[in-house]
Amino acid sequence: NHNERPQATAIGLAVIHGISLPPGVFGGTAIDDLFLNRTGLSSEEKPELLALVGLRVSSHFLITRRARLVQYVAVGRRAWHAGESVFEGKQDCNNFSIGIELEGTDDQPYEPRQIELLAALLSELSQHIPSLSTV
């Protein structure tokens, strides 16, 4: 669920999403299953994931509720995390962004350790990717 970035495309944006699969459930393998195309395994056990079968998405990084950092896609590659998107007039944010998922929901606070790890990750990325300027 990734491919080459377009040539001469600078990474300038970090896109941060919240994710939990099934919704509101933390831990387990469902996020890994989704990003690694194993959704058939989870959907048999969890019918609410049936709509995700065959969906091809990924992210560069996931920060779990327990503040574990997982990398799915190399930073130099284009992860399929932003879908049809536009940022500051530029189409297809996947081309010029890093995708970071935080395990969580819109209606519950993220864990302080997740936020600390996110800040550390963004700091590290910005040291290696000077063009990364927007979160």
What does the block give as tokens for 76? 């130099």
Q: Which alpha helices (DSSP H) does the chain contain, by range?
A: 30-35, 39-45, 112-128
Q: How far, CA to CA in Å, does 57 sit from each of 54, 110, 128?
A: 9, 23, 25
Of residues 101, 103, 111, 124, which has the active-site annotation?
Answer: 101
User: What type of residue is 31?
Assistant: I
101 is catalytic: yes
Active site residues: 101
